Chains A and B, each alone.
Chain A
Amino acid sequence: MSLVPESPQSATAIAAAVAAGEQSARSILDAHVARVDQTESEIHAFNHIMREQAMASADEIDRRVAAGEPVGPMAGVPVALKDNMCTRGVPTTCSSRILEGWEPPYNATVVERLAAADAVVVGKTNLDEFAMGSSTENSAFGPTRNPHDTSRVPGGSSGGSAAAVAAGFAAVALGSDTGGSIRQPAALCGVVGVKPTYGAVSRYGLIAFASSLDQIGPFAHTVADAALVHDTISGHDPLDSTSIPSAAASASSDLARGVEGLRIGLISEMMGDGIEGIAPDVLARTQAAADALGAAGAHVSPVSIPAAIYGLSAYYLVAPAEASSNLSRYDGVRYGQRVDGANVAQMNTATRTSGFGEEVKRRIMLGTYALSAGYYDAYYGKAQKVRTLILENFDKAYEDFDVLLSPTSPCTAFPFGDKTADPMTMYVNDVCTIPSNLTGHPAMSVPFGVGSDGLPVGVQVLAPAQGETVMFRVAAALEALR
Chain B
Amino acid sequence: MSEERDLPDGWELVVGLEVHVELGTATKLFCGCPNQFGSEPNTNVCPTCLGLPGSLPVLNATAIDYAMRLGRALGCDVNPSVFARKNYFYPDMPKDYQVTQYGLPTNTDGRLELADGFVVIIERAHIEEDTGKSTHVGGDGRISGADYSLVDYNRAGVPLVEIVTAPVIHTIEHAKSYVAELRDILLATGVSDAKMEEGSMRADANVSVRPVGSDALRTRCEIKNINSIRSIGRAIDYEAHRHIDLYNNGDAPRQETRHWDEAAGRSRPGRSKEDAEDYRYFAEPDLLPLDPTPEAVAAIDAAMPTLPQARRAALVDVAGVDARDAALLVERGQDELALAVVQAGANGESAAKHLTNNLADGAGALTVAAFAGLLALESAGKLSSTQAKTVLGVLAASGGDPAAIAAGLGFEAMDTAELELLVDQLITDHPVEWGRFTEGDKKVQGFFVGQIMKATKGQADGKVVNQVLNARAAG
A residues apposed to B, CB below 8 Å: 84-86, 92, 94, 99, 102, 104-106, 108, 203-208, 210-212, 238-242, 321-322, 324-325, 328-329, 331, 333-335, 343-345, 348, 368, 371-373, 376, 380
Contact = CB atoms under 8 A, between A and B. Distances in A.
A211 B53 CA distance: 12
Given A104-B54, A206-B54, A325 B287 contact: no
A86 B50 CA distance: 15
A328 B95 CA distance: 7
Nearest to B149: A344
A377 B127 CA distance: 24
A432 B280 CA distance: 30
B285 interface: yes
Interface stretch (B55-63, B298-306, B362-370, B417-425): B55-63
Tell me the dominant secondary structure on chain A's binding face.
Answer: loop
A379 B127 CA distance: 27
Given A242-B286, A321-B282, A325-B280, A331 B91 contact: yes
Contacts of A324: 87, 280
A241 B52 contact: no
A329 B51 contact: yes
Given A106-B55, A210-B285, A240-B58, 9 more contacts: A206-B54, A238-B58, A325-B87, A325-B282, A328-B87, A329-B96, A331-B96, A373-B278, A376-B282
The 3 closest A-B pairs by CB, nearest first: A328-B96, A371-B280, A212-B285
Nearest to A380: B282
A372 B97 CA distance: 15
Contacts of B47: 104-106
B288 interface: yes
Contacts of A106: 47, 52, 54-55
Given A92-B53, A328-B87, A328-B96, A333 B288 contact: no
A328 B281 CA distance: 14
Interface in B48-93: 50-59, 85, 87, 89, 91
20 contacts: A86-B52, A94-B53, A104-B52, A205-B54, A208-B53, A208-B286, A211-B285, A239-B56, A240-B56, A241-B288, A242-B286, A321-B282, A325-B85, A328-B96, A329-B96, A331-B89, A334-B52, A344-B143, A348-B89, A372-B280
B398 interface: no
B94 interface: yes
Interface of B: 47, 50-59, 85, 87, 89, 91, 94-97, 143-146, 149, 151, 278, 280-282, 285-288
A173 to B, nearest CB: 18
Given A325-B87, A344-B149, A99 B282 contact: no
Contact of A241 (B94, B151, B287): B287
B45 to A, nearest CB: 10
Contacts of A329: 51, 53, 94-96
A154 to B, nearest CB: 24
The residue among A210, A241, A345 with the most chain B CB atoms within 10 A of its own CB is A241
Nearest to B153: A334
A124 to B, nearest CB: 13
Which one of B55, B151, B285, B287 has the highest number of Cβ atoms from chain A below 10 Å of its Cβ?
Answer: B285
B83 to A, nearest CB: 10
Most buried by B among A105, A334, A335, A348: A334
Contacts of B52: 86, 104-106, 334-335
Contacts of B56: 203-204, 239-241
Interface centre among B54, B282, B287 (most CB of A within 10 A): B54
A84 B56 CA distance: 14
Contacts of B144: 343
A333 B151 contact: yes
Contacts of B280: 324-325, 368, 371-373, 376
A380 B283 CA distance: 11
A208 B284 CA distance: 13
B243 to A, nearest CB: 27
A289 B366 CA distance: 89
A208 B57 CA distance: 13
Contacts of A85: 54
Contacts of A104: 47, 52-54
Contacts of A345: 89
A241 B57 contact: yes
Nearest to A384: B283
B153 to A, nearest CB: 9
B96 to A, nearest CB: 3
Contact of B54 (A204, A238, A321): A204
Nearest to B86: A325
Contacts of A334: 50-52, 94
A104 B96 CA distance: 19
B89 A322 contact: no
Contacts of A204: 54-56
A33 B66 CA distance: 55
A208 B51 CA distance: 11
B58 A241 contact: yes
A373 B86 CA distance: 12
A2 B59 CA distance: 50
